[in-house]
Amino acid sequence: MTNERFLRQSFLGESGQEVIGRCLVGLVGLGGGGGHIALQLAHVGFMNYVTYDADFAEDSNLNRLVIAIEADVAAGTPKVEAAKRRILGVRGAAHVETYRCRWQERPEPLRACDLVFGCVDSFAERRELEACCRRYLIPYIDIGMDLHQAGDEPPVMGGQVILSMPNGPCMFCLGYLTEEKLGREAARYGAAGGRPQVVWPNGVLASTAVGVAVDLLTDWSRSLRGPVYLAYRGNDGTVVPHPRLVHFRGGACPHYPPDQVGDPLFKRL
């Protein structure tokens, strides 16, 4: 790999670029959001990946799945393989582990990651991912978009980028996850149908998440010193700190105590 390649991002510093190259990054979900992230990480210089997605590229994905082309739909390419191909196209020497399954079926490689991106569909999936990352001391970056429509009003497009740091406020502390939301989601399980997903908010959210990750690893801005909860509003094209984070005054996270790390211990009775 030539240094020429990173000439235009030399402000990250030699050690910053080196840390990026050393970081083992986990990607859970390689759809509209995760595909964008994979591609950008490859360009930034990430070299070590653990990827999970059980799905194959389908025609209905092509409105947003930047890692796939029509031939992948015809061939039924697994999304993890489409992502791997794109990463290796940019970084031929990268190590990409692909798991065409839910991460819960092969959790060990995920636990080994230094940083995990979650690009999953449900609140329940997010809760499980964050819990795993807390247990194994891994920073977790969550992205997602949604579209809400009430009556005759135009739809409201929203999204979030959250950085959940072990020992800091979790997604429950920040009010993004609530028992009520999880309960409502569980109640409508199976009846939800496909939520709206489009390429441009995915791109904004993925870019923002990659920016957070690069800053976290290189400290180039020297200003990222606490949790991130950014709210995206597609209708006016803004990404702003979420009011819940701005007004967050909580202390230690009560949901993930600091001694509950490592493999769970089973006490003998």
Partner 1 sequence: MNVRLRLTRQLYDQVRRDLLRPHPFAAERVGFLFARLGNVGTAAPLVCFTAYRPLADERYIDDPHSGARIDSQAIRAAMQQVIDRGEGAFHMHMHAWPGKPHFSPMDRNELPRLIPSFQAVGPGCAHGLLLLSHDACAAEVWLPGSKRSVEAARISVVGFPMQLIPGGET
Residue 23 engages partner 1 in binding (rule: CB under 8 A)? yes
Cβ distance to Zn ion smaller for residue 60 or 167: 167
Question: Whose CA is closest to 30, among 109, 97, 105?
Answer: 97
Is there binding between residue 259 and partner 1 (CB under 8 A)? yes
What pairs with residue 147 in β-bridges?
A: 157
Q: Which residue has the tokens 């329940």?
A: 124
What is the size of the binding site for partner 1 (CB under 8 A)? 31
**DSSP classification of residue 168:** S
Contact 245, 168 (CB under 8 A): no
Instruction: Tell me the per-residue interface mask from 78 to 117 with partner 1, x by CB under 8 A, - otherwise.
Output: ------------------------------xx-xx-xx--
Looking at the Cβ atoms of 27 and 165, the one nearer to Zn ion is 165
Backbone angles phi, psi at 259, to 5 degrees: -90, -5
User: Of 89 and 250, which CB lies nearer to Zn ion in the complex structure?
Assistant: 250
**Site track 113-152 with partner 1 (rule: CB under 8 A), x = hit:** -xx-------------------xxxxx-------------
CA distance 169 to 184: 23
Our CB check for partner 1 shows the closer of 22 and 195 to be 22
Closest approach, Cβ 216 to partner 1, in A, equals 5
Q: 55-81 burial, b for 16+ CB within 10 Å, e for fewer?
A: ebbeeebeebbbbbeeebbeeebbbbb
Using the minimum distance from each CB to partner 1, give the nearer residue, 19 or 120.
19
Tell me, what amino acid is at 238? T
CA angle 251, 252, 255 (to 5 degrees): 125
Kindly list the residues in this chain that would bind partner 1 in the complex (CB under 8 A): 19, 22-23, 108-109, 111-112, 114-115, 135-139, 165-167, 215-219, 224-226, 258-259, 261-263, 265
